[in-house]
Chain A
């Protein structure tokens, strides 16, 4: 299912007709902000009702205005209550092997040492061989893991989740592969505060479906999430550790449509 299907799912009609839950309309507003096609469909429908109201106007009884003026306070200017959300742009970097040369030097020294040691004490070579064999299996495991990941990345659709209005520069990527499995790669999101975790949601027919939690303690950046069929969009919210059954819309960070 793609954005065309989302448009024809009836969500937009429900939205402009005003018969939609707060949650669903927040989702639609997010989709709107990220998708010009949905936005223009919404605006087009809204215009119909604007026109209908204009052309079917009825002048209210004149006494209402005076009564109303008494109810309003003109003395205090309205405060703009916009919540200020600090942007923590210091992203958590995955530790990269920046000390590679040092490691190489250390390894070379170790190997030289090892060679010397082997030459000296032939008897201990079996133990060494065993060790090497072990690390070899570990490495090949890693390689096959990487191969698998690579295969997944090749066979999947990449969806960029961009920061919503309140968090303009945030970024995450979702990979949705042909077997409906979903992988999440957080590119630029502030570290989740203690007791909080990022939760991934898929939007299916306008409704949020839990896709699981992103575990920032794991060393791998791209994490496997739950599987989903026919999603129209993905979004990430900040929730309490372990997640919530429904997303906290005010805590939505990024969103992306398919």
Chain B
């Protein structure tokens, strides 16, 4: 990753002027974050590769409609990545493929992933697994599965009000876990 740090305005300006350096900066700095989210949603490497490319094409084509008043550039792009992956997950062709094969055991079946990638992926699992199981299910279903709170309530057979309260609690818990996660990494680095 390059050490140059651009502000949102600088990056958006570069992207609008179709500057290749701007794109390189965007890709180098953000593609790992998007890929992590996409991979968790679609679970297959080939699909994840396609969705990641789609995501960047969409960002490239719709950067003109980014509105800073509605949130950060990072969130805006992350939503594109996440929604593209959810769309792929819910598409008919993908659902058909799913029926014909078993879901890969996340990383270990993806032989083309490097050791480093596998390590990264396992870190993700560890992090999410530190959440209480009630909460983990909610985050997984809602954010990584694209289910509404109503759908989750129906599937799990719990009242909608409970899902709402738990979702809120899950988000706060996730926030705390993320804070602690940093310490864990730091701890290992310092050791």
CB-based contact A45/B27 at 8 Å: no
Residues of A within 8 A of B174 (CB): 48, 52
Residues of B within 8 A of A32 (CB): 70
C-alpha spacing A59/B123, complex, angstroms: 13
Which of the candidate stretches A68-76, A119-127, A133-141 sits at the interface with the other chain?
Answer: A68-76
For B125, the closest partner residue in chain A by CB is A56
C-alpha spacing A196/B67, complex, angstroms: 29
How does the 8 Å CB contact mask read for A53-97 relative to B, with 1 for contact and 0 for none? 111111111001101110111111111111000000000000000
CB-based contact A58/B49 at 8 Å: no
C-alpha spacing A188/B48, complex, angstroms: 51
Interface residue A170 (Cβ < 8 Å from any Cβ of B):
no
CB-based contact B75/A49 at 8 Å: yes
CB-based contact A19/B74 at 8 Å: no
Interface residue A245 (Cβ < 8 Å from any Cβ of B):
no
Interface residue A185 (Cβ < 8 Å from any Cβ of B):
no
Interface residue A107 (Cβ < 8 Å from any Cβ of B):
no
Interface residue A46 (Cβ < 8 Å from any Cβ of B):
yes
Q: Known interface pairs A43-B71, A56-B127, A59-B35. Does A13 touch B18 (Cβ–Cβ under 8 Å)? A: no
Total contacting residues, chain A, CB less than 8 A:
49
C-alpha spacing A82/B62, complex, angstroms: 12
CB-based contact B33/A57 at 8 Å: yes
CB-based contact B123/A60 at 8 Å: no
Q: Known interface pairs A51-B178, A68-B53. Does A46 touch B72 (Cβ–Cβ under 8 Å)? A: yes
Residues of A within 8 A of B10 (CB): none
Interface contacts beyond A60-B32, A64-B49: sample of 18 additional A-B pairs, CB < 8 Å, sorted by A: A10-B164, A10-B168, A14-B149, A16-B171, A18-B146, A48-B178, A50-B78, A53-B33, A56-B33, A56-B40, A57-B120, A58-B32, A58-B39, A60-B35, A68-B53, A71-B57, A73-B18, A79-B64
28 A–B contacts from the bound complex (CB under 8 Å): A10-B167, A13-B167, A18-B86, A19-B148, A42-B71, A50-B78, A52-B178, A53-B34, A53-B78, A55-B178, A55-B182, A56-B33, A56-B40, A56-B120, A56-B128, A58-B36, A58-B117, A59-B31, A59-B35, A61-B45, A64-B52, A68-B27, A68-B56, A71-B53, A77-B17, A78-B16, A79-B64, A80-B16
Name B's A-contacting residues (CB within 8 A). Answer: 15-20, 23, 27, 31-37, 39-40, 45, 48-49, 52-53, 56-57, 60, 63-65, 69-72, 74-75, 78-79, 82-83, 86, 112, 116-117, 120-121, 123-124, 127-128, 142-143, 146-149, 164, 167-168, 171, 174-175, 178, 181-182
